[in-house]
Chains A and B, each alone.
Chain A
């Protein structure tokens, strides 16, 4: 009798869980409504009228495009760096045992475990000590540092599930290390790397705290938004940009989810 009642959740639990999910999503949906409002000076609810005008206004704003292109550049390079460093560290940690393995994991996780402001201010004071002028590369330096961890996490999880016997079999059958990497290891970890890369891109594209310290006068898209939040110039344009940012970040997350979803069915994983 007990297990009958266990099969479905009690009503209060359903309500609490449903309300929690709604709490997480309604604020984001609200922005979509505000992107169409005709009200320019305040955040008046309900919107007095609806218009598509702000999309074209935002489209014609050069500062938005500059910020967007800087963000894309930074995120692309930071993702590439994270893919390289994260995969290397993951391969080393998961394929071999050596002294200090735990320390490597800690080192990789530290940049996101510590508050972003500490990473940011540490890098900033290091730049000023070393007299490095702010540029695209100082932003990338910061972003690369904390993007490594997402690639690393994805790659470590996949390496753990990839059977070591596949690699041994490949070597036994005469493939050299590079062929084994190209034909056995890479296909096995490819989707994990793609997923990790997409998450790294989303993380970098969205980052604001470290960037405020390493960016100097340049504005990535989040920095642009932050400036608009503190000193609003044209609120509806901010709404439109917010909607675009939501859509741009949702797609990689969805893709990453579908890429890593069914990874239990990889050949040789059931060793």
Chain B
């Protein structure tokens, strides 16, 4: 093959606008890259990050007590207000709920994820996959609504307890201080159940992904070397599945921290962070405090993500 021939083929310019453009992009890939990146960057960078920063900036302003208007002077007053006992109470309540929901989801999710990863084959595998995906993707409000039906005083759960002659158990649970209430739908137990139900699929999927990567031979080897199933679980399976569980907990934790609709519809009247943000920016008209409140989940999640990254959770996503 002569040099002149191959050069002739390679350097032939394409005709027409599209030809010339595609030659240009081939010679300068950076140009194409910039063209591809500009629209998404403009949208996400300006509209989204821009508004986010504008919001965070507002938390350093404060509201004037007399006029009720925002005074645009840099101050930490709003953060001081955030740390008063009533607001700290809201933050603490939300954190406890997020931890409880995360732990409960992990317990319920593990068997499902383990069965789907290890034993389900073919048709059953698809069944389990869709069985998790369908509730994950079906309407959030419809799911909350379903639980309003279930937990209502005249609803199916009360009926089941009555049928099993366990009404007294239900009543005594509802009589408990703090977590009890008039009926399940106005108690913390109800809020907790709905949170667990709605975020559970987010815990199952990464856990299953992590478990699928555990070689079956490791579990068998552990058994062959004399470990009881219990030992195998705690020394082999759980450490290897942990990144998946942590990845799932990112979702359950973050989603619980920011939700304001579930505690509003099912639960007692005591506020969670999301509701506080909503109330402050809406009826109270105190946007700086709302902004300061929304900094709380961002900071908590920042710390959480840093820890999760150390535990290798991002490889399991």
Contacts and interface: CB of A to CB of B under 8 A. Distances in A.
Contact of A114 (B50, B111, B116, B298): B298
Given A6-B220, A98-B33, A86 B40 contact: yes
A121 to B, nearest CB: 6
Given A20-B112, A43-B155, A115-B254, A89 B278 contact: no
Nearest to A178: B18
A84 interface: yes
Contact of B40 (A14, A108, A178, A206): A108
A2 B223 contact: yes
B115 A242 contact: no
Q: Tell me if A's interface is mostly helix, strand, loop or mixed.
A: helix
Interface residues of A, number: 80
B145 A114 contact: no
B36 interface: yes
Contact of A23 (B144, B197, B278): B197
Given A27-B143, A88-B36, A129 B54 contact: yes
Given A117-B277, A222-B139, A226-B141, A31 B149 contact: yes
A111 B40 CA distance: 13
Nearest to A171: B26
A45 B115 contact: no
B67 interface: no
B82 interface: no
A141 B47 contact: yes
Q: Tell me if B's interface is mostly helix, strand, loop or mixed.
A: helix
Given A28-B142, A254-B130, A119 B40 contact: no
Nearest to A241: B142
Contacts, number: 258
Interface string B100-115: 0000000011011011
A249 B139 contact: yes
Contact of A229 (B111, B133, B141, B258): B141
A176 interface: yes
A212 to B, nearest CB: 8
Interface in B28-80: 29, 33, 36-37, 39-41, 43-45, 47-52, 54-55, 58
A108 B284 CA distance: 32
Contacts of B45: 107
Contacts of B47: 123, 126, 141, 145
B213 interface: no
Nearest to A207: B140
A24 B55 contact: no
A217 interface: no
A113 B251 CA distance: 8
Interface in B120-138: 128-135, 137-138
A72 interface: no
Nearest to A43: B152
Nearest to A7: B119
Interface in A218-259: 222, 225-226, 229-230, 238, 242, 245-246, 249-250, 253-254, 257
Nearest to B219: A6
Contact of A31 (B26, B145, B287, B301): B145
B191 to A, nearest CB: 14
A50 interface: no
A23 B298 CA distance: 31
A57 interface: no
Given A2-B220, A199-B137, A107 B44 contact: yes
Interface of B: 14, 18-19, 21-23, 25-26, 29, 33, 36-37, 39-41, 43-45, 47-52, 54-55, 58, 108-109, 111-112, 114-116, 118-119, 128-135, 137-150, 152, 154-156, 158-159, 197, 200-201, 204, 216, 219-220, 223-224, 254-255, 257-261, 264-265, 274, 277-278, 281, 287, 290-291, 294, 297-298, 301
Interface of A: 2-3, 6, 8-9, 13-14, 16-17, 20-21, 23-25, 27-28, 30-31, 34, 42-46, 81, 84-86, 88-89, 91-92, 96, 98, 104, 107-108, 110-111, 113-119, 121-126, 129, 141, 144-145, 148, 171, 176-178, 199, 202, 206, 208-209, 222, 225-226, 229-230, 238, 242, 245-246, 249-250, 253-254, 257
22 contacts: A9-B118, A13-B111, A20-B108, A24-B201, A30-B150, A45-B154, A89-B37, A107-B49, A108-B40, A114-B52, A115-B274, A115-B294, A117-B259, A117-B278, A117-B294, A121-B277, A122-B51, A122-B55, A144-B43, A229-B141, A230-B265, A253-B138
